[in-house]
Structure 1
Amino acid sequence: MRSPMPRLDRATRAFWRVKGRPVDLAGRERWLAAPMHDGPLVGDGWLADAAASYGGTVRESEPGAGLLADMAALDGPGFRASALRPEVRAFYEHTSGWRMEAWTQWNPVFQPGGELISRYFGRRVQQLALPTRPLDVALGMDSRVATIVDAAGRQRAAGWMRTLRSTGEYVYSGCYSTRVLPGSRQPSVHVAFPLQSGNVQVFLRPTVLAGGALGLTSPAGPFGRDGAYVVVEESGRTHAARAPIHETFRVYVDPEGVLRTDHVLRLWSATAVRLHYKLTPVTGG
């Protein structure tokens, strides 16, 4: 008997196609152009095609590689990288030099659904497999950064692959860069999670919080503003829709000098899961 999973994937794409609107990724909605994948198993298989779109290459295992080459790329009317704690800035600019430990706490109402999504989708396609049990992350996460550079050698984006140290399974595989949304003068952190014939994208608004902490938010709002989007490609046409996923991150240094992150993911207005990360330098950044 054939596996129902491909049918499930097609049904999911059909749902977002109906919910969304047609978009032109080469024109008016170019701000939504981001890596997709051509097969059901994602992992890091999208990196080469993403680099090719910039006419460049992927650089693996570079010492000190970061999600952003320079946090000042986010400078704008509502943000100045120079106001951040040096540790916060070092993490984003030299991510590969940091070790990550993680803890999760699910809302009991959402935990069963999160487990189903992780089991029947995330782990199968090796993408967006959010841990649903505390012991899943007991041994921590491995973090790997691959920079995507153009023909001139400039970093245009970075792939951040996070896997469970206990099993090697992918938790996330995202493409990180900065992007300015239509009608805005404030750059946002742009994260795209490639999927087969589509992707999930999050535009995060940066702010400097008390004590030089970094705040990142993907709020609710109209199409074309910061927030989460689902993009699907089918029969030569592309559709995009806002998703009711809202995230907040607070990256800060605790009183003992340890870099930490509080991450809250909400569906509509309800908190679905809280994550906490402890970040420690392994190479001095």
Structure 2
Amino acid sequence: MRRLRVALLAAVASLLTLAVAGLRRARRRAAGIPLSPVTAGARVGADFPERAGLTTGEEPAGEMDDMAHYARDGFDPERVHPSVRAFYESTSDYPMTATVTWHRGFRLGAALAARVTSAVEQLNLPGPFAASTVALTSRFADVRADADPRDDVRAWVRTDRETGEAVFVALYGSYERDGERYVTVAVPLPWANLSTVLRLDHHDGDGAGATGVALTTLSGDDPGLYLVTPLGTLALPLEQRFTVRPDGDGVRATQTMWVRGVRFLTIEYDAERDA
């Protein structure tokens, strides 16, 4: 019995040592990346940017002002298909639908989480046992520079067209390091935020040189997902990839997320420009 207790204590000590080492690595990886400090209270909701005093009163047209700001070796905005570029620069002109798929092994957890996300009105996706497609209405609001130090920050609020509930409330911005500009997205959560750093790349082509785009955490040093809290910032074992491709006058987009290499969520977006 004594040997068993000693073995159990040794195993617990080893696990704690590994956990502490992992926590230190997660903190080191997040150090020096300019992420949003904005957090929320118990509820986020569609009026969060105004309720939190973040806005200037201006209303940007899209997720970014000009894709040309992201030009670098390996990414030429002039090669991007006009429909895709127009979507990024005039996003509010595009009503969207989102079709959500929770993958096997994560459906029970997603069903339980849906109760919380619905109450908080953030990351308010349909659960695996509900209707999987939701129609979204978008609006943008410019964010004060003293509230969020990233470049060109704007809130993108997406609400359920039927219920008016917030589905996504996110603060989009960017920063530049070593001649490369990254997209950064902060999702305010109760007393924290989930921040994503994404690299912009070309995706596919139409045979005439025009391409879609991919925003991904799967390449480069800075890209990744980070949990920002008052106690510090941690890199998370999550990855994310958006691919956006032309579809007539609109675009189709696919968002895929993985945890430790295992796919758990796919969202398909359809966006058609208003006439």
- TM-score, normalised by the number of residues in structure 1: 0.75
Q: 1:161 to 1:79 in 2, by over 3 A?
A: same
**Superposed displacement of residue 30, structure 1:** 6.1
> Take 2:52 and 2:139, find their aligned partners in 1: how far apart are those partners?
17
In the alignment, the residues of structure 1 paired with residue 268 and residue 229 of structure 2 have an alpha-carbon distance, to the nearest angstrom, of 31
Deviation at 1:47, TM superposition (A): 2.1
Once residues 175 and 215 of structure 2 are traced to their aligned partners in structure 1, the CA distance between those partners, rounded to angstroms, is 14
* 1:248 maps to 2:241: yes
Q: Would you say how many aligned residue pairs link Structure 1 and Structure 2?
A: 245
2:191 corresponding residue in structure 1? 197
Distance change (3 Å), C-alpha of 1:50 and 1:84: farther
- The aligned counterpart of 2:70 is 74
Superposition map of 1:21-60 within 5 A? 29=32, 31-37=34-40, 39-48=41-50, 57-59=56-58
Alignment of 1:163-202 (within 5 A): 163-181=159-177, 184-202=178-196
Given the alignment of the two structures, is residue 279 of structure 1 paired with residue 274 of structure 2, yes or no?
no
RMSD over aligned CA atoms reads 3.0
Structure 1 residues without counterparts, runs of 5 or longer: 1-14
Say yes or no: does 1:230 pair with 2:227: yes
Contact 1:104/1:134 (<8 A) preserved: no
2:251 aligned with 1:259, yes or no?
yes
Listed one character per residue, the Cα deviations across residues 145-187 of structure 1 (whole Å, up to 9, x for unaligned) are 2223669xxx821111112223222221000111225xx4321
* Residue 131, structure 1, aligned to residue 126, structure 2: yes
Whose Rg is larger?
Answer: 2
**Structure 1 residue 106: Cα displacement:** 1.6
Aligned residue identity for 2:213: L
Give CA deviations for 1:210-235 in whole Å, capped at 9, x if unaligned.
221001111288xx6101000111xx
Cα distance in 2 between the residues matched to 1:189 and 1:202: 8
For residues 163 and 205 of structure 1, the distance between their equivalents in structure 2, rounded to whole angstroms, comes to 26
Corresponding residue number in structure 1 for 2:141: 146
Which of 181, 191, 201 aligns to 1:207? It is 201
1:12-51 per-residue CA deviation (whole Å, 9 max, x = no partner) reads xxx9xx946779x9xx7361243222x2111245424877
Taking the aligned partners of 1:93 and 1:51, their CA distance within structure 2 comes to 25
- SS of residue paired to 1:32: coil
Letter in 2 for 1:113: G
Counterpart for residue 90 of structure 2: 94
Cα deviation, residue 257, structure 1: 5.4
Are residues 220 and 206 of structure 1, via their aligned partners in 2, closer, same or farther at CA, if it must alter by over 3 Å? Answer: closer
Contact 2:197 2:224 in 1 (8 A): yes
Tell me, what secondary structure is at the counterpart of 2:143? strand
Q: Which ranges of structure 2 fall in alignment gaps of 5 or more residues?
A: 1-18, 206-210
1:127 maps to amino acid: Q
1:239 maps to 2:232: yes
The answer for the alignment partner of 2:3 in structure 1 is: none
Kindly, what percent of the aligned residue pairs are identical? 28
Partner of 2:14: none
Question: What is the rounded CA distance, in whole Å, between the counterparts of 1:203 and 1:49 in structure 2?
Answer: 26
Instruction: Check the 8 A contact 1:251/1:262 in 2, yes or no.
Output: yes
Residues in 2 aligned to 1:101 and 1:252: alpha-carbon distance in whole angstroms = 15
Task: Give the Cα separation in 2 of the matches to 1:33 and 1:150.
Answer: 11
